[in-house]
């Protein structure tokens, strides 16, 4: 599919919802799988970029229909529409992204409340019925590359000083025993770009973008919060343990977070863009934090 213009997307939306003809339309381009259009700061319309993204959007809508009634956390009420192209509509969740600098400014109480709310969200997700989720279209979470493939692809991009870290991390991961809690249905995308956070009140208003939700190893759920702060992950885990009675292996989580960063570098390695430099820097920062 070619990348549509805002005017083209606006026309698709107005054809389906004529009452929005005089509304204000803003293109949001940060999504990997879909382009999004904000209408009057109250509605979000998502347009998949390609056929794979279309399948993901259909699955996301089906999954949300199952998970939304079972969650304490506010999540989108997504509806699909087929006009000249497939798209979804949902009410915009009020709030902004939560990134590392904003997290650093949060008070102690706000950090703990956030961690407890995320722990409850994960616990409720992991308790959802597998059969209903599969019937709604849920499938496996995105598979990671094998250790040797990650190393081969990332190697040319890794500075010599980082190569021993990559070799050691991937060697340990290769020999890691199976997840003690097996496979579960998880969100697996709990970073701050998928959060609607009220910075004035220091409260999480909701979570969105369930395109990466699926069945995967349970410990994988605790990796993405490290993009915000390791402190947040360190708070989520004990709160989750109290709610579920499951013991979470902190060392396994830290190892997998390192692998995730190497995997993302490997996935970008063929590109020649500024994103490569950023991915290398991310590995550098994580490796340094592991040595600290």
Residues 264-285 pLDDT 10s: 999 998 887 788 999 999 999 9
> What is the per-residue burial (b if ≥16 Cβ within 10 Å, else e) of 255-287?
bbbbbbbbbbbbebbeeeeeeeeebbebbbebb
Question: Smallest Cα–Cα separation from 151: which of 121, 179, 173?
Answer: 173
Distance CA 246, CA 123 (A): 10
pLDDT at residue 1 above 60?
A: no
What pLDDT, in 10s, does the model give residues 197-250? 999 999 999 999 998 899 999 999 999 999 999 999 999 999 999 999 999 999
Identify the DSSP state of 191. Answer: S
pLDDT at residue 2 above 70?
A: no
Question: Measured on CA atoms in the order 171, 174, 175, 181, is the torsion positive or negative?
Answer: positive
Neighbours of 49 (CB within 10 A): 17
What pLDDT, in 10s, does the model give residues 43-58? 999 999 888 889 989 9
What pLDDT, in 10s, does the model give residues 121-180? 999 999 999 999 999 999 999 999 999 999 999 999 999 999 999 999 999 999 999 999
pLDDT value of residue 270: 82
- CATH class for domain 6-91? alpha beta
What's the Rg (C-alpha) of the chain? 20
pLDDT value of residue 264: 96
pLDDT value of residue 148: 97
Half-sphere exposure of 8 (CA within 13 A, CB side): 9
pLDDT value of residue 31: 66
pLDDT value of residue 22: 97
Domains 6-91 and 100-291 share a fold: no
Contact 197, 96 (CB under 8 A): yes
And the tokens for 247? 């013991």
Half-sphere exposure of 119 (CA within 13 A, CB side): 22
pLDDT value of residue 292: 72
Q: Kindly list the domain boundaries of the chain, sorted by start residue.
A: 6-91, 100-291
100-291 has which fold?
A: Aminoglycoside 3'-phosphotransferase; Chain: A, domain 2 (3.90.1200)
* Percent of the chain whose pLDDT exceeds 70: 98
Mean pLDDT of the chain: 95
pLDDT value of residue 7: 96
Neighbours of 1 (CB within 10 A): 11
Distance CA 62, CA 137 (A): 6
Distance CA 71, CA 168 (A): 39
């Amino acid at each position: 599919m070619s990348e549509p213009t805002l005017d083209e997307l606006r026309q698709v939306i107005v054809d389906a919802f004529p009452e929005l003809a005089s509304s204000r339309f803003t293109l949001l381009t940060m999504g990997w799988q879909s382009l999004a259009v904000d209408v009057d700061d109250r509605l979000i319309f998502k347009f998949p970029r390609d056929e794979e993204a279309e399948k993901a959007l259909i699955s996301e809508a089906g999954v949300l229909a199952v998970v939304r009634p079972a969650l304490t956390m506010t999540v989108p009420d997504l509806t699909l529409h087929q006009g000249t192209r497939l798209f979804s509509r949902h009410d915009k969740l009020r709030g902004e992204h939560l990134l590392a600098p904003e997290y650093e400014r949060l008070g102690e109480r706000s950090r703990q409340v956030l961690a407890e709310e995320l722990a409850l969200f994960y616990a409720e997700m992991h308790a959802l019925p597998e059969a209903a989720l599969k019937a709604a279209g849920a499938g496996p979470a995105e598979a990671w590359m094998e250790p040797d493939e990650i190393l081969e692809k990332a190697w040319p991009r890794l500075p010599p000083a980082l190569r021993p870290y990559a070799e050691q991390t991937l060697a340990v991961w290769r020999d890691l025993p199976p997840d003690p809690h097996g496979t579960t249905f998880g969100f697996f995308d709990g970073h701050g770009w998928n959060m609607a956070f009220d910075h004035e009140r220091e409260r999480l208003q909701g979570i969105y973008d369930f395109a990466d939700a699926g069945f995967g190893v349970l410990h994988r759920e605790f990796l993405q919060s490290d993009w915000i702060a390791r402190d947040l992950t360190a708070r989520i885990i004990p709160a989750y343990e109290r709610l579920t009675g499951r013991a979470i292996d902190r060392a396994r989580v830290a190892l997998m977070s390192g692998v995730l960063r190497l995997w993302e570098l490997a996935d970008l390695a063929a590109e020649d863009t500024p994103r490569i430099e950023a991915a290398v820097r991310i590995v550098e920062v994580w490796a340094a934090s592991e040595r600290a």
